[in-house]
């Protein structure tokens, strides 16, 4: 029986239930959803996702606008200045806040209880709405101006308040697009296979890799294709330069342009392939616990504990944290300079005029790294160091090294922290897994069929593997960013997309098995 104190603490969130129950939501299916239906929903949601990425925000100025999330586009699964401008950022940030509150025991809900779990999910939905407002309002009122024509039209309807109304309408468009993304994620998780968030990331990264590899348009579309303005895609660029440069041109800088120079150098394509193969190998590494059925002799199985046990979610959460740090650092530097301590603080981060990447401060050392040209070449070549210093004035080799170490360290440490939170809030801990195995009728050979016994056995593996999992995905993501990828997909984006595709393939395999053998649904958590 819960104590009076626990009831009182729980009632704090239960007071929000009348509000959260009225928020638009996707109903859960009553019973089993057939495999074909799930695949149909996935295809429809993907079509809607790509459609939204191509719908530009109505009334937005084409000149007076800044993309605060430019360096995190692949990870946040958004398209700049479209209805998907915020991407999955508000959803992930709301999830982070709820996980932190749960881990700190501020929220005392038993997520195994259906009623408590419903309250948790409803509160998380409300948190997502709050984060949509928190992320959209500063961007629109600080960095995304309405066009003069749109403002003039609003002045004709609301004299004197045309600009304010125009900005409000832009915020409402961002709000509608972001909440629709949240509902699309619910459709995939309830009626489809896997997670909508993961699906959107994989789709966006795949699009960027495809265009970065095969785009035959000029790097600068204003001017025609030439040796000084080759095709933007890695493969067309390589073929064009090999065909049009002489042998002397190739030895005097042609090879360097092909393999190292932006956009989309050959080393980025090679790095993308290497990352793909290495992540595929890592995803297949696992520990398998032998299982036997308690009531059917000879019925045996294995419970796999993957090396990437916490999936790629910790990296998504960590990337969202860094994106928000970058956004608010730029906001305090450029628009909220009068705020005490944080306003115009060089320690938090400072920016050059018109730049979206920080030039110094904490935001600089935590900003993402995009390939060898962002760190390795400036460290080994004085000429590249001078070119780097045009973007980051005054930066020395020591500061570049500290940037690399800080970024890698924060990615690994943050991913470990979020991996532990994720395991505890998604019923993947030793106790929840032990109950799942016991309820399916299976047991570990040589041990009594008791959830407490299985929990002690699993505690030898799951906590350790969780830490290793978080550190591994954090290291893979940061090292992948250091190598670089085609299409500015970022190493983190490629890591996530490969892991997502492998997990989706496994999930599709499980769904097909459940269609053929319905008795397996209980073991896999199906209905």
How much is the average pLDDT of 413-428?
86
At 63 the pLDDT is 78
At 233 the pLDDT is 92
Lowest mean pLDDT among 61-70, 343-352, 379-388, 402-411: 61-70
Same domain, 147 and 273: no
Q: Are 468 and 173 in contact (CB under 8 A)?
A: no
Task: Select the more confidently predicted residue: 217 or 320.
Answer: 217
At 406 the pLDDT is 95
Structure tokens at 401: 């090294």
Q: On the CB side of 464, how many CA atoms lie within 13 Å of its CA?
A: 7
At 527 the pLDDT is 53
**Four-residue CA torsion sign, 372, 376, 380, 382:** positive
Q: Are 346 and 361 in contact (CB under 8 A)?
A: yes
- Model confidence at 449: pLDDT above 60: yes
Number of domains within the chain:
2
| Residue 148 resides in a domain | yes
Cα separation, 470 vs 478, in Å, equals 12
At 4 the pLDDT is 40
Same domain, 282 and 149: no
* 170 Rama class: left (phi>0) / alpha (psi -120 to 50) / beta: alpha
pLDDT digit string, tens, across residues 490-513: 877 888 888 888 888 888 887 777
pLDDT digit string, tens, across residues 41-56: 999 999 999 999 999 9
How much is the average pLDDT of 114-123?
84
| Residue 513 resides in a domain | no
Cα separation, 150 vs 110, in Å, equals 50
Q: Which CATH number goes with the domain that contains 371?
A: 1.10.3370.10
Cα separation, 321 vs 157, in Å, equals 40
Count CB atoms within 10 A of the CB of residue 63: 7
- Model confidence at 353: pLDDT above 50: yes
pLDDT digit string, tens, across residues 26-42: 888 887 788 889 999 99
What's 443-455 look like in SS3? ECCCCCCCHHHHH
- Model confidence at 393: pLDDT above 90: no
Task: Select the more confidently predicted residue: 90 or 253.
Answer: 90
| Residue 211 resides in a domain | no
At 178 the pLDDT is 93
Lowest mean pLDDT among 102-111, 160-169, 518-527: 518-527
Q: Are 60 and 147 in contact (CB under 8 A)?
A: yes
At 174 the pLDDT is 94
Residue 355: closest CA among 339, 340, 373, 333? 333
Same domain, 305 and 181: no
Query: Above pLDDT 70, what percent of the chain?
Result: 93
Structure tokens at 436: 């799942």
- Model confidence at 448: pLDDT above 80: no
How much is the average pLDDT of 55-66?
86
Strand blocks (E) in 199-340: 286-293, 300-306
- In which band, very low, low, confident or very high, does the pLDDT at 526 lie, cut at 50, 70 and 90? low
At 121 the pLDDT is 85
- In which band, very low, low, confident or very high, does the pLDDT at 366 lie, cut at 50, 70 and 90? very high
How much is the average pLDDT of 86-115?
80
- In which band, very low, low, confident or very high, does the pLDDT at 402 lie, cut at 50, 70 and 90? very high
In DSSP terms, which residues pair with 285 in a beta bridge?
none
At 2 the pLDDT is 45
Q: Are 122 and 23 in contact (CB under 8 A)?
A: yes
Most confident of 15-24, 40-49, 144-153, 341-350: 40-49
Same domain, 59 and 142: yes
- Model confidence at 298: pLDDT above 70: no
At 249 the pLDDT is 87
| Residue 236 resides in a domain | no
How much is the average pLDDT of 455-460?
86
Same domain, 13 and 149: yes
At 160 the pLDDT is 79
How much is the average pLDDT of 320-327?
86
In DSSP terms, which residues pair with 226 in a beta bridge?
229
Helix crossing, 313-334 with 89-103: angle to 10°?
Answer: 110
At 5 the pLDDT is 45
Structure tokens at 302: 């294995």
Count CB atoms within 10 A of the CB of residue 302: 12
**DSSP designation for 231:** B
At 484 the pLDDT is 82
Same domain, 45 and 129: yes
Degrees to nearest 5, angle at CA 354 with 351 and 357: 45
| Residue 27 resides in a domain | no
Q: How far is CA 444 from the centre of its chain?
A: 36
pLDDT digit string, tens, across residues 192-239: 988 888 899 899 888 889 999 999 999 888 889 998 899 999 999 999
| Residue 520 resides in a domain | no
Find all residues with CB under 8 Å of 290, minimum gap 6, and list them.
Answer: 300, 301, 302, 444, 445
- In which band, very low, low, confident or very high, does the pLDDT at 520 lie, cut at 50, 70 and 90? low
Same domain, 186 and 289: no
pLDDT digit string, tens, across residues 469-495: 999 989 988 988 888 888 878 877 888
3-class DSSP assignment, residue 392:
coil
In the listed set 136, 164, 192, which residue is the last one of a domain according to the structure? 192
- Model confidence at 7: pLDDT above 50: no
Same domain, 460 and 333: yes
Same domain, 330 and 438: yes
- Model confidence at 433: pLDDT above 90: no
- Model confidence at 405: pLDDT above 60: yes
Domain hosting 43: range is: 1-19+35-192
Q: How far is CA 251 from the centre of its chain?
A: 41
How much is the average pLDDT of 51-73?
85
In the listed set 192, 215, 230, which residue is the last one of a domain according to the structure? 192
At 72 the pLDDT is 77
In the listed set 171, 192, 213, which residue is the last one of a domain according to the structure? 192
Cα separation, 362 vs 406, in Å, equals 10
At 294 the pLDDT is 62
Same domain, 284 and 161: no
Share in percent of the chain as helix, strand, coil (round to 5): 65, 5, 30
| Residue 288 resides in a domain | yes
| Residue 247 resides in a domain | no
């Amino acid at each position: 029986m819960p104590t009076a104190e626990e009831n009182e603490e729980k009632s704090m969130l239960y007071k929000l239930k009348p509000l959260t129950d009225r928020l638009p939501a996707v109903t859960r299916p009553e019973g089993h959803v057939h495999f074909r239906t799930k695949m149909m929903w996935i295809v429809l949601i993907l079509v809607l996702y790509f459609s939204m990425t191509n719908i530009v925000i109505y009334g937005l100025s084409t000149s007076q606008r800044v993309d605060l999330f430019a360096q995190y586009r692949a990870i946040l699964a958004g398209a700049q200045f479209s209805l998907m401008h915020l991407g999955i950022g508000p959803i992930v940030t709301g999830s982070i806040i709820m996980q932190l509150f749960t881990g700190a025991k501020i929220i005392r809900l038993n997520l195994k209880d259906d009623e408590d779990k419903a309250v948790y999910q409803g509160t998380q939905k409300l948190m997502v709405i709050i984060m949509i407002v928190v992320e959209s309002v500063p961007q629109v009122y600080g960095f995304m101006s309405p066009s003069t024509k749109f403002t003039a039209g609003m002045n004709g309807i609301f004299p004197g308040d045309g600009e304010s109304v125009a900005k409000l309408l832009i915020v409402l468009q961002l709000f509608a697009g972001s909440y629709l993304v949240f509902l699309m994620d619910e459709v995939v998780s309830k009626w489809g296979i896997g997670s909508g968030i993961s699906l959107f990331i994989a789709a966006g990264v795949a699009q960027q890799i495809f265009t970065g590899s095969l785009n035959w348009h000029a790097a600068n579309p204003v001017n025609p294709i030439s040796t000084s303005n080759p095709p933007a895609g890695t493969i067309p660029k390589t073929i064009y330069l090999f065909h049009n440069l002489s042998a002397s041109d190739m030895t005097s800088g042609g090879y360097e342009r092909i393999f190292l120079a932006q956009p989309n150098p050959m080393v980025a394509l090679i790095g993308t392939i290497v990352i793909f193969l290495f992540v595929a190998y890592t995803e297949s590494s696992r520990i398998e616990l032998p299982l036997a059925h308690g009531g059917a002799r000879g019925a045996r199985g294995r419970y796999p504990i993957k090396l990437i046990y916490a999936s790629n979610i910790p990296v998504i959460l960590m990337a969202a944290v860094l994106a928000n740090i970058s956004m608010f650092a730029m906001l305090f530097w450029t628009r909220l300079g009068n705020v005490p301590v944080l306003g115009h603080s060089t320690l938090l981060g400072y920016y050059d005029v018109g730049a979206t990447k920080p030039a110094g401060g904490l935001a600089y050392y935590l900003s993402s790294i995009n390939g060898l040209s962002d760190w390795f070449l400036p460290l080994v070549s004085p000429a590249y160091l001078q070119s780097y210093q045009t973007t980051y004035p005054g930066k020395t080799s020591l500061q570049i090294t500290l940037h690399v170490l800080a970024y890698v360290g924060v990615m690994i440490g943050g991913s470990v922290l979020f991996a532990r939170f994720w395991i505890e809030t998604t019923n993947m801990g030793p106790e929840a897994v032990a109950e799942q195995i016991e309820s399916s009728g299976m047991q570990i050979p040589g041990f009594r069929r008791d959830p407490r016994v299985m929990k002690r056995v699993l505690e030898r593996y799951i906590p350790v593997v969780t830490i290793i999992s978080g550190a591994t995905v954090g290291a893979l993501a940061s090292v992948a960013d250091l190598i670089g990828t085609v299409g500015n997909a970022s190493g983190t984006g490629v890591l996530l997309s490969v892991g997502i595709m492998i997990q989706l393939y496994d999930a599709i395999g499980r769904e097909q098995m459940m269609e053929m053998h319905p008795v397996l649904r209980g073991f896999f958590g199906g209905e």
